[in-house]
Structure 1
Amino acid sequence: MSNTSNTHINLENGRLNVEIARPGSVYNGSRFDWTAFITKIVLDNKYSFCAPESEIPGQGSGGFGLCNEFGINTPIGYDEAKPQEKFPKLGTGLLTRPDESDYFFFDKYEVEPFPVKISADKNAVVFDVEPVNCNGYAVKMTKTVSIEGNILTIDYHLENVGSKPIKTEEYCHNFISVNNKRIGDGYVLKFPYNIKPKEIPEVMNIKGNEIRWNFVPKGDFYCQIEGFKPGEKHYWELLYEPERVGIREYSEFEIVKVAVWGTTHVVSPEVFINVDIAPGKTQEWRRQYEFFTY
């Protein structure tokens, strides 16, 4: 086994030191996937990348570092559930619909967590999420987090073992800063194509394929961007120029949406995939993160 504690699993090699929260130990909310909830990434014992969603305890939805979410816009089975009945949130558990109101990802729902089996060594950890049938919906999910050199990989394998199709979306909410430096001058976010923003927050300066910040944000900012071509391999990279260090995420799947969220102390590029699995079928994809100096 890797170095473990009651709350975290540690992966470590000569380049990366990664801490992954045990399901339910650090985060037990109803928004994010409880598995592969990555709270610490350090490169070369010098550069850290994970930041909290909010610096004020109790605010926000509890995100930290690299944490993904299923169904932010398309909750599985929510419309079929009556008040006080359950619906599944992949990676999290069975949530209870409280009333007749629409689903809202930021709301807090009662959670009955999925059972998870964990196996790990010093370079990889595997989360096997056992299926629990809920009104015909049931998914067996395996997520593997592994490190090799300066690269961290998250592999997803989902099998629909229920009687109804699974249709939703997934993205990783990358809560990132470099060595806890405030977002603003010195950061640059790059894409492999010219960015076509739907709207530009005042704090952002967008030219060509780059986003820079005109000043330290005073609050949240959000921008959905276009310009990517369907079917092309996608990546983004965030550089912190004063320390010449960066992070790059490669999306090993066909992307359907790209957005950038952030606030005073963190920036989060978000890359979305459609999840569409017929009964008896599987879907796999990979997110790969490279941490580097230049």
Structure 2
Amino acid sequence: MAYQLTNGILTVDIAEPGEGYRETRFEWNGLITGITLLDGGHSFCTSENLTEGQGGGMGLCHEFGIKEAIGYQDTKPGEQFPKLGVGLLTRTDEGPYFFYKDYPVQPFKVEIEQGSPEEITFRTLPEECGGYAALLEKRISIDGQSLSIEYSLHNTGQKKLSTEEYCHNFLNINGYSIGPDYRLEFPVTLQPEVDEAETSEELMFDAGRVIWEKVPEHEFYFRTGGYDGTRKPYLWELFHLPSGAGVREVSRLEVSYAAVWGRSYVVSPEIFYRIEAEPGQCIKWTRTYEFFSENTK
């Protein structure tokens, strides 16, 4: 069973936890698979991989701990460690944690409550593992042209939770390829960093703008430093010139760093948020997106 939010302006499609996506990277609960701005019928979501059977994320996928899985270093092969929003994963070898690896998983139990056509809450229940435990509540709601994702992370364990959260926004607009027809902007001057030079060879930068001179032939990626997003009008904005439709993230967050990943059919602006929660502490934050067209913005 899938879920849908609608208010006559936006429709938001949300997957049933564990249906369609059962890998151990992205959060299972509240996975947003489709967003449509009804005025003009503009769509915004796509998949990480278009090849049948290749797997990967889709739409708005959240992940906790892409670099440092909680408790992994203290876990021996065959023992479990927690992946927030997913479940208890089993370490399989002596190697480092790798976010792309699909680990054996015991999914967390989740409660779902849809209070109205415009909001739904996913409550991931705590399960102790190596002194770590958390109650994670995720409320998704729509208001006019805005979509909000409100998080509440309550550390119910005995150890500090130290991690980071981001949303891997798998986006295109109306199915159009990424290229010169798109404008991706950040509210700060970009200082691109890459691990492999070829991942940015097809990109150009003009202050806070990312420019494609043609549809990219290869996967692209870069990251840039953090900034105080609480003082900015938006954290990023993606606009498709021919259709006149766009989306911007207007979350008020302290950005630890940002990144952009993509291929010819998808671009993913990613904003990373650092979380440090002591035992008994509850951390709350909200991600908000605005969807617009030239007729509505």
TM-score (norm 1): 0.94
| Counterpart position of 1:266 | 266
The 3 A distance-change label for structure 1 pair 222 and 128 is same
Counterpart check, 1:90 vs 2:84: yes
The 3 A distance-change label for structure 1 pair 21 and 137 is same
The 3 A distance-change label for structure 1 pair 227 and 170 is closer
> Displacement, 1:227?
6.9
Counterpart check, 1:114 vs 2:96: no
2:235 aligns to what SS in structure 1? strand
Asked if 1 retains the 8 angstrom alpha-carbon contact of 2:230 and 2:252, the reply is no
Counterpart check, 1:65 vs 2:64: no
The 3 A distance-change label for structure 1 pair 265 and 251 is same
Distance 1:144 1:205 in 2: 37
Asked if 1 retains the 8 angstrom alpha-carbon contact of 2:226 and 2:258, the reply is no
> Displacement, 1:229?
4.4
Counterpart check, 1:145 vs 2:144: no
| Counterpart position of 1:166 | 161
> Displacement, 1:198?
2.1
> Displacement, 1:65?
0.4
Select between 50-59 and 224-233 the one with higher mean Cα deviation: 224-233
> Displacement, 1:226?
3.1
Distance 2:202 2:161 in 1: 38
Counterpart check, 1:14 vs 2:8: yes
Select between 107-116 and 206-215 the one with higher mean Cα deviation: 206-215
Select between 236-245 and 202-211 the one with higher mean Cα deviation: 202-211
Q: Which ranges in structure 1 are unaligned for 5 or more consecutive residues?
A: 1-5
Q: Which ranges in structure 2 are unaligned for 5 or more consecutive residues?
A: none
Asked if 2 retains the 8 angstrom alpha-carbon contact of 1:151 and 1:289, the reply is yes
Distance 1:81 1:263 in 2: 35
The 3 A distance-change label for structure 1 pair 178 and 79 is same
Distance 2:56 2:189 in 1: 33
| Counterpart position of 2:248 | 248
Letter in 1 for 2:213: N
The 3 A distance-change label for structure 1 pair 123 and 230 is closer
The 3 A distance-change label for structure 1 pair 19 and 174 is same
2:211 aligns to what SS in structure 1? strand
Distance 2:75 2:49 in 1: 32
Letter in 2 for 1:262: G
| Counterpart position of 1:288 | 288
Distance 1:284 1:43 in 2: 28
Letter in 1 for 2:272: F
Letter in 2 for 1:96: T
Q: What's the Cα RMSD here?
A: 1.4
Output aligned runs, 1:219-230, within 5 Å. Answer: 219-226=218-225, 228-229=227-228
Deviations 1:100-131 (A, max 9, x none): 11100001101111000001120000001100
> Displacement, 1:16?
0.4
| Counterpart position of 1:134 | 129
> Displacement, 1:222?
0.3
Distance 1:13 1:80 in 2: 47
After superposing on structure 2, the runs of 4+ consecutive aligned residues of structure 1 that deviate more than 6 Å are: none
Asked if 1 retains the 8 angstrom alpha-carbon contact of 2:229 and 2:251, the reply is no
> Displacement, 1:150?
0.6
Identity %: 44
Asked if 2 retains the 8 angstrom alpha-carbon contact of 1:194 and 1:227, the reply is no
Distance 2:136 2:226 in 1: 32
| Counterpart position of 1:237 | 237
> Displacement, 1:261?
0.4
> Displacement, 1:250?
1.7
Aligned residues: 287
The 3 A distance-change label for structure 1 pair 108 and 224 is same
| Counterpart position of 2:73 | 79
TM-score (norm 2): 0.94
Distance 1:261 1:103 in 2: 21
Asked if 2 retains the 8 angstrom alpha-carbon contact of 1:232 and 1:254, the reply is no
Deviations 1:131-166 (A, max 9, x none): 000011000010000001110000000000000000
